[in-house]
Structure 1
Amino acid sequence: MPIVDLVIRGGKVVSPDAIIDASVAIHEGQIVAVGHDDLMPSGREEVRADGLHLLPGAIDSHVHFRDPGYPHKETWATGSAAAACGGVTTVFDMPNTKPATGTVEALQMKLRAAEASYVDFGIHALLGDDTVGHLEDLLEHGATSFKAFVGNTFGNLPAPSDGALLEAFEILAPLGIRTVVHAENSSIMARRQQRMIEAGRIDAQAHLAARPEVCEIEAVSRIIHFSEWTGARVHIAHKSSADALWLVREAKARGVDITVETCPQYLLLNTDDVLRLGGLLRLNPPIRDARHNQPLWDALMDGTVDMIATDHAPHAIDEKLKENIWECDCGFPGVETQMALMLSEVNKGRASLMDYVRWSSVAPAKAWGLYGTKGVIAPGAHADIVMVDMNRRGILSHGKLQTIAKLSPWNGRAVMGYPLHTLVRGRFVMRDGALVEAARGWGKSIKGVQKMPTPKPLHVELATRNILKAPDNAPQNALPQVDAVTPAH
Structure 2
Amino acid sequence: MSNVDLVIRGGKIVSPEQIIDASIAIDGGRIVAIGHDDLMPSARTELRADGLHLLPGAIDSHVHFRDPGYPHKETWKSGSAAAACGGVTTVFDMPNTKPATGTVEALQMKLRAAEASYVDFGIHALLGDETIDRLEDLLDAGATSFKAFVGNTFGNLPAPTDGALLEGFEILAPLGIRTVVHAENSSIMARRQGRLEAAGRNDAWAHLAARPAVAEIEAIGRVLTLAEWTGARVHIAHHSAADSLFVLRDAKRRGVDVTVETCPQYLLLHTGDMTRLGGILRLNPPIREERHHQPLWDALMDGTIDMIATDHAPHTPEEKTRESIWACDCGFPGVETQMSIMLTEVNRQRASLMDYVKWSAVAPAKAWGLYGTKGVLAPGADADIAIVDMNAKGILSQGKLQSISKISPWHGRPVMGHPLHTLVRGRFVMRDGKLVEDAAGWGKSIKTVQRMPTPRPRNTEHRISAVLATPEGAPRADVAKFTNGDLT
TM range (shorter): over 0.9
Q: Which residue of 1 aligns with 2:212?
A: 212
Give, in angstroms, the shift of residue 102 of structure 1: 0.1
Alignment of 1:293-442 (within 5 A): 293-442=293-442
Letter in 2 for 1:400: K
Letter in 2 for 1:95: P
> Are 2:81 and 1:86 equivalent residues in the alignment?
no
Q: SS at 2:216's partner residue? A: helix
Aligned residues: 475
Q: Which residue of 2 aligns with 1:168?
A: 168
Structure with the greater alpha carbon radius of gyration: 1
Counterpart CA distance in 1 for 2:169 and 2:83 is 31
Q: Which residue of 1 aligns with 2:9?
A: 9
Give, in angstroms, the shift of residue 3 of structure 1: 1.3
Letter in 2 for 1:439: A
What are the Cα deviations for residues 181-206 of structure 1, in whole angstroms up to 9, with x where unaligned?
Answer: 00000000000000111110000000
Q: Which residue of 2 aligns with 1:107?
A: 107
Give, in angstroms, the shift of residue 406 of structure 1: 0.3
Contact 2:202 2:325 in 1 (8 A): yes
Identity %, equivalent residues: 79
Q: SS at 2:78's partner residue? A: helix
Letter in 2 for 1:316: T
Q: SS at 2:111's partner residue? A: helix
Counterpart CA distance in 2 for 1:189 and 1:200 is 16
Alignment of 1:203-282 (within 5 A): 203-282=203-282
> Are 2:188 and 1:188 equivalent residues in the alignment?
yes
What are the Cα deviations for residues 144-189 of structure 1, in whole angstroms up to 9, with x where unaligned?
Answer: 0000000000000000000000000000000000000000000000
Counterpart CA distance in 1 for 2:224 and 2:469 is 28
Q: Which residue of 2 aligns with 1:43?
A: 43
Q: SS at 2:106's partner residue? A: helix
Contact 2:149 2:160 in 1 (8 A): yes
What are the Cα deviations for residues 328-380 of structure 1, in whole angstroms up to 9, with x where unaligned?
Answer: 00000000000000000000000000000000000000000000000000000
Alignment of 1:13-28 (within 5 A): 13-28=13-28
Letter in 2 for 1:81: A
Counterpart CA distance in 1 for 2:153 and 2:363 is 26
What are the Cα deviations for residues 410-440 of structure 1, in whole angstroms up to 9, with x where unaligned?
Answer: 0000000000000000000000000000100
Q: Which residue of 1 aligns with 2:288?
A: 288
Counterpart CA distance in 2 for 1:275 and 1:247 is 32
Contact 2:467 2:473 in 1 (8 A): no
Gaps of 5+ in 1: 476-489
Gaps of 5+ in 2: 476-488
Letter in 2 for 1:67: D
What are the Cα deviations for residues 184-235 of structure 1, in whole angstroms up to 9, with x where unaligned?
Answer: 0000000000011111000000000000000000000001100100000000
Contact 2:384 2:426 in 1 (8 A): yes
Counterpart CA distance in 1 for 2:304 and 2:103 is 34
Give, in angstroms, the shift of residue 241 of structure 1: 0.2
Q: Which residue of 2 aligns with 1:74?
A: 74
Letter in 2 for 1:401: L
Counterpart CA distance in 1 for 2:188 and 2:63 is 26
Q: Which residue of 2 aligns with 1:487?
A: none
Contact 2:150 2:181 in 1 (8 A): yes
Contact 2:240 2:288 in 1 (8 A): yes
What are the Cα deviations for residues 453-487 of structure 1, in whole angstroms up to 9, with x where unaligned?
Answer: 00000001100111113347979xxxxxxxxxxxx
Q: SS at 1:209's partner residue? A: helix
Letter in 2 for 1:279: G
Give, in angstroms, the shift of residue 2 of structure 1: 2.0
Q: Which residue of 2 aligns with 1:481?
A: none
Contact 2:467 2:474 in 1 (8 A): no
What are the Cα deviations for residues 28-74 of structure 1, in whole angstroms up to 9, with x where unaligned?
Answer: 00000011111110110000000000000000000000000000000
Counterpart CA distance in 1 for 2:442 and 2:237 is 28
Letter in 1 for 2:73: K
Counterpart CA distance in 2 for 1:87 and 1:69 is 26
Task: Name the CA shift for 1:45/1:461 in 2 (closer, same or farther; >3 Å).
Answer: same
Q: TM-score, normalised by structure 2?
A: 0.97
Q: SS at 2:402's partner residue? A: coil
Task: Name the CA shift for 1:190/1:42 in 2 (closer, same or farther; >3 Å).
Answer: same
Contact 2:307 2:359 in 1 (8 A): yes
Contact 2:421 2:433 in 1 (8 A): yes
> Are 2:453 and 1:453 equivalent residues in the alignment?
yes
Q: Superposition RMSD on alpha carbons, in Å?
A: 1.0
Counterpart CA distance in 2 for 1:473 and 1:362 is 45
Letter in 2 for 1:366: K
